[in-house]
């Protein structure tokens, strides 16, 4: 009987040690609130994002965007925002936003030679974002997935993009989705 109790205790101790080892191996980013001066929003990003500027064109014309990017565990977290001119905001209000967003996603998918897996309307602070759209995209070889959420808030155009490998670990996909979902409008 004593040997069975010792064996059971040894089994429990080994199981507990194995569980603690596995928990210690899980990669979990420390997401911190990040509020860029150029955007009227706060995103949850890992680490200290690198900043760059980008001159780009979209359905509303030319604009200069500010891009913040950080990486953790093979996931790239990107926040892009741009200040729209008064004329661009007025044009946006006259535009069919859903068609504009669908065309933007179609252009991205064509460049990636990918597939749209899902689309939706992003929310923030418990309400639907003004002029918003979200999509989950697989690249052509389905080696990576891109979760993108883009919207206009006031006169700021913003994109939150998380790119992760496929297949992804639970945490890679989970934190990529949290990044695009846990944004708050200021």
Whole-Å CA distances, 151 to 53, 103, 133: 19, 14, 6
Residues in the chain: 186
Q: What is the C-alpha to C-alpha distance for residues 98 and 30, in angstroms, rounded to an integer? A: 34
Residue 163 has pLDDT above 70, yes or no: yes
Residue 73 has pLDDT above 70, yes or no: yes
105 is written with which tokens?
């996603």
Tens-place pLDDT, residues 75-134: 999 999 999 899 988 888 888 877 888 888 888 888 888 999 998 876 655 555 556 788
- Examine residue 45 and state whether it is found in any structural domain, yes or no: yes
Query: What totals of helices (H) and strands (E) does the chain contain, helices first?
Result: 4, 12
53 is written with which tokens?
């500027």
- Examine residue 104 and state whether it is found in any structural domain, yes or no: yes
Can you give the pLDDT at residue 17? 41
The CATH number assigned to the domain holding 92 equals 3.40.1000.10
Can you give the pLDDT at residue 129? 54
- Examine residue 13 and state whether it is found in any structural domain, yes or no: no
Note the helical H segments in 26-123: 86-94, 97-112
The pLDDT-based confidence of 181 (bands split at 50, 70, 90) is: confident
- Examine residue 119 and state whether it is found in any structural domain, yes or no: yes
- Examine residue 57 and state whether it is found in any structural domain, yes or no: yes
Q: What angle do CA 178, 184, 186 make, to 5 degrees?
A: 160
The pLDDT-based confidence of 185 (bands split at 50, 70, 90) is: confident
Q: Quote the domain boundaries for residue 148.
A: 28-185
Instruction: For the chain, state the CA radius of gyration.
Output: 21
Residues whose CB is less than 8 angstroms from the CB of residue 74 and which lie 6 or more positions away in sequence, other chains included = 164, 165, 172
- More confident of the two residues 95 and 72: 72
Can you give the pLDDT at residue 131? 63
- More confident of the two residues 39 and 175: 175
- Examine residue 140 and state whether it is found in any structural domain, yes or no: yes
CB crowding 130-162: b at 16 or more within 10 Å, else e: ebbbbbbbbbeeeebbbbbbbbbbeebbbbbbb
62 is written with which tokens?
């030319």
Q: What is the pTM of this model?
A: 0.79
Strand partners, 67: 52, 80
Total domain count, the chain: 1
Q: What is the C-alpha to C-alpha distance for residues 145 and 129, in angstroms, rounded to an integer? A: 23
- Examine residue 177 and state whether it is found in any structural domain, yes or no: yes
- Examine residue 77 and state whether it is found in any structural domain, yes or no: yes
Q: What is the C-alpha to C-alpha distance for residues 56 and 108, in angstroms, rounded to an integer? A: 14
- More confident of the two residues 97 and 62: 62
149 is written with which tokens?
């959420």
Tens-place pLDDT, residues 1-50: 556 665 555 554 455 443 433 444 567 888 899 999 888 889 999 999 99
């Amino acid at each position: 009987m004593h040997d069975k109790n010792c064996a059971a205790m040894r089994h429990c101790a080994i199981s507990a040690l194995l569980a603690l080892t596995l928990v210690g191996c899980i990669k979990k980013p420390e997401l911190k609130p990040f509020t860029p001066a150029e955007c009227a929003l706060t995103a949850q990003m890992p680490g200290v994002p690198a900043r760059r500027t980008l001159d780009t064109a979209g359905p509303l014309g030319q604009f200069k965007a500010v891009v913040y990017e950080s990486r953790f565990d093979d996931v790239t977290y990107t926040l892009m925002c741009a200040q729209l001119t008064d004329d661009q905001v007025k044009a946006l209000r006259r535009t069919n936003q859903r068609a504009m967003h669908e065309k933007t996603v179609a252009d991205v998918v064509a460049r990636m030679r990918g597939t749209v897996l899902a689309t939706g309307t992003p929310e923030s602070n418990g309400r639907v974002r003004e002029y918003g759209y979200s999509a989950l995209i697989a690249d052509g070889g389905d080696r990576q997935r891109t979760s993108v959420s883009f919207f206009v808030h006031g006169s700021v155009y913003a994109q939150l993009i998380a790119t992760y490998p496929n297949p992804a670990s639970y945490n890679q996909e989970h934190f990529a989705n949290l990044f695009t979902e846990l944004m708050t409008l200021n």
